[in-house]
Structure 1
Amino acid sequence: MVSKPSSAASARTVSVLALVAAVLVGAFLAPVVYDAAAPTPDRVAVISVDGTITSYTADQLEEDLHEARENESIKAVVLQVDSPGGSAAASEQMYLAVNRTAQEMPVVSSVEGTGASGAYYTMLPSESIYVTPSSVIGSVGVRGSAPIGGSSNEIRTGPDKASMTLDHREAQIETLKHAFVGSVMEHRGDELSLSREEVAYAKVYTGARATQNGYADDIGTLQTAIDRAASEAGLENYEVVEKEPSTRSGIILLSSQNGNSTVVVEESPIGYDGVRAPQFLMVYGQVQYEDEVIGNVSA
């Protein structure tokens, strides 16, 4: 005759099994619960400003900085700059995006190549600008093409519907120059050993010289800039996240020949090619990129 287990023994068995099951379930769930509860680490975002500045460059930087401002884990931004400048309108757009970001979190810039003209304009709101001794810095000025042809044979629908004259073009360029120089004096005036007139000469300087005349703050690498940004944000433990520059199909070519600056748009997304329009440029040096490959297309 088989004796039946007592109700007390059965209860103990059930309790043991329940305990074992709880331990096993806990072992599987504990890491998940821990990860879910773990706080997001503070971060310093490194964002690149690379190559000739165009409207696409400006839109991309504006988007990157917007994402940084909206991301609560990002406490500071470092601009990694290697650009000779480019379109005046795009450079101004980038300056405004950086200026807005600098009002919400520390922004520090690092130049290990070129940070000239529109690229220098872009960096102006930075808390600090770090350069290497051989960096190219400065070129505070604007270039633009002279109007071609006259208006004597034109038929216009109104008195102000006229071709741009040389005087008008010069006035526009002068206005842009004053805005650029004025921004330099506003952001760097206390550090500069140069007068406003000397800044307007649009000279370029090596990084070593730029730290002496106030165009830059100190010699340092990208890591130096990251450390400074973290310090300005009060961070001791943090991660560094780098925003990879995106690629774009099609090409945009900036050219400057004999003082006539144009932007040539090939394979336009709105259906026409080879459009030429006069542009005001904040760019250092002669720009000639017709043989450069951009994206997957070569000129």
Structure 2
Amino acid sequence: MSNSPDGSGLTRVQSYALVVAAAVLLSAILAPVAYDRATAPDGTVAVVSVEGFISSNSVSSVQEDLREARENESIDAVVLNVDSPGGSAAASEQLYLSVQRTAQEMPVVASVKSTGASGAYYAMLPARDIYVTPASIVGSVGVRGGTPGPSLPGEIKSGPDKASATADQRRAQIETLQRAFVGSVMKHRSDELELSRTEVAHAKVYTGARAVDNGMADRIGSTPEAIERAASAAGLEDYDVVRKEPPRLGGLFLLSTEDGGTVVVEQSPAGYDAVDTPTFLMVYGDVQTESEVIGNVSA
């Protein structure tokens, strides 16, 4: 092997050395980019909060969070962070349908912090797993509703059936809602349940530990463990977590204690107490109107 005749050419060895040096330099430049790509998260788990009384206002916000999760291509799984005694039957059904739609598109796992009862339990039934703490309160598969209210003196109705529901008709309506509630429990959890349909319909509440034993819940664990489960179900090993802030509650004013204490509601959110509006509740706790509570305190 020789140099070029004029002495200015490069030997093959020198040319090879230059190529290697250029490759090393290029690798040094591109290495950080390749490293960033290799260490980027596989995907994202969204944590959506369901807290407090379930009303039309609070459900609208949660439904929007779930819709965003479904439409965002970077979201691969959802965790429902639940701490609620339930609430309006209609709102609870709407939330159930929204969770069910989300679960059809990506893994959904529920995590009960303190209470996940009645309408809140209904809403998380489509989740593939329900995580609870040993002292969590879950269950209360039942519906309640008031008896028809009195009309105002001299009230004029547009038709004979306007605001004319009887106590028997109201009971039939409640039983229809109850059958749908119990039916959903059996549909989603029949493979895990150690309880009969009749036992479920008794509307008992259970501690988290007992709920895992009888199949009302799946695992004892914290919210971070529920997040890990959701990520695993979505096939994610390295993932980000985004948390949706719980909505500010509006409409009905309610309070509830963890042991099923008093739930306080306004006398009439519409400001007209004589309107016979069938308000059905899927809520765990004794229900009193705000005026009744104030009267008890004054007495």
Equivalent residues of 1:264, 1:275 under 8 A apart: no
Give the equivalent residue in structure 2 for 1:227.
Answer: 228
Distance change (3 Å), C-alpha of 1:217 and 1:129: same
Equivalent residues of 1:151, 1:162 under 8 A apart: no
Superposed, 1:1-299 pairs within 5 Å as 42-149=43-150, 156-247=157-248, 252-254=252-254, 264=267, 274-276=271-273, 277-287=277-287, 290=290
Once residues 121 and 263 of structure 1 are traced to their aligned partners in structure 2, the CA distance between those partners, rounded to angstroms, is: 24
Deviation sequence 1:126-152 (CA, Å, 0-9, x none)? 000000000000000001001133899
Secondary structure of the residue that 1:60 maps to in structure 2? helix
Normalized per residue, which structure has more strand? 1
Once residues 143 and 162 of structure 1 are traced to their aligned partners in structure 2, the CA distance between those partners, rounded to angstroms, is: 19
Give the drift of 1:76.
0.1
| TM-score between both structures, scaled by the size of structure 1 | 0.75
5+ residue gaps, structure 1, are 1-26, 267-272, 292-299
Once residues 241 and 223 of structure 1 are traced to their aligned partners in structure 2, the CA distance between those partners, rounded to angstroms, is: 12
Q: How many residues align?
A: 255
Equivalent residues of 2:55, 2:251 under 8 A apart: no
Once residues 120 and 245 of structure 1 are traced to their aligned partners in structure 2, the CA distance between those partners, rounded to angstroms, is: 17
Once residues 74 and 205 of structure 1 are traced to their aligned partners in structure 2, the CA distance between those partners, rounded to angstroms, is: 33
Match for 1:223: what amino acid? P
Match for 2:231: what amino acid? A
Secondary structure of the residue that 2:98 maps to in structure 1? helix
Once residues 251 and 79 of structure 1 are traced to their aligned partners in structure 2, the CA distance between those partners, rounded to angstroms, is: 23
Give the equivalent residue in structure 2 for 1:12.
Answer: none
Equivalent residues of 2:265, 2:289 under 8 A apart: no
Deviation sequence 1:93-119 (CA, Å, 0-9, x none)? 000000000000000000120000000
Give the drift of 1:274.
3.3
Deviation sequence 1:147-198 (CA, Å, 0-9, x none)? 1338998765444335111111001100000000000000001110100000
Once residues 103 and 65 of structure 1 are traced to their aligned partners in structure 2, the CA distance between those partners, rounded to angstroms, is: 12
Report the aligned-residue RMSD: 3.4
Equivalent residues of 2:267, 2:289 under 8 A apart: no
Equivalent residues of 1:124, 1:184 under 8 A apart: yes
Once residues 49 and 255 of structure 1 are traced to their aligned partners in structure 2, the CA distance between those partners, rounded to angstroms, is: 15
Distance change (3 Å), C-alpha of 1:289 and 1:53: farther
Distance change (3 Å), C-alpha of 1:58 and 1:246: closer
Equivalent residues of 1:85, 1:119 under 8 A apart: yes
Superposition misfits of 4+ residues, deviation over 3 angstroms: 38-41, 149-162, 261-266, 273-278, 287-291
Identity %: 64
Once residues 158 and 71 of structure 1 are traced to their aligned partners in structure 2, the CA distance between those partners, rounded to angstroms, is: 49
Q: Which moved more, 1:81-90 or 1:149-158?
A: 149-158
5+ residue gaps, structure 2, are 1-28, 257-263, 292-299
Secondary structure of the residue that 1:252 maps to in structure 2? coil
Distance change (3 Å), C-alpha of 1:133 and 1:39: closer
The higher relative CO (CA closer than 8 Å, separation ≥ 6) is in 2
Deviation sequence 1:194-229 (CA, Å, 0-9, x none)? 000000000000000000000000100001100100
| TM-score between both structures, scaled by the size of structure 2 | 0.75
Give the equivalent residue in structure 2 for 1:269.
Answer: none
Once residues 111 and 177 of structure 2 are traced to their aligned partners in structure 1, the CA distance between those partners, rounded to angstroms, is: 25
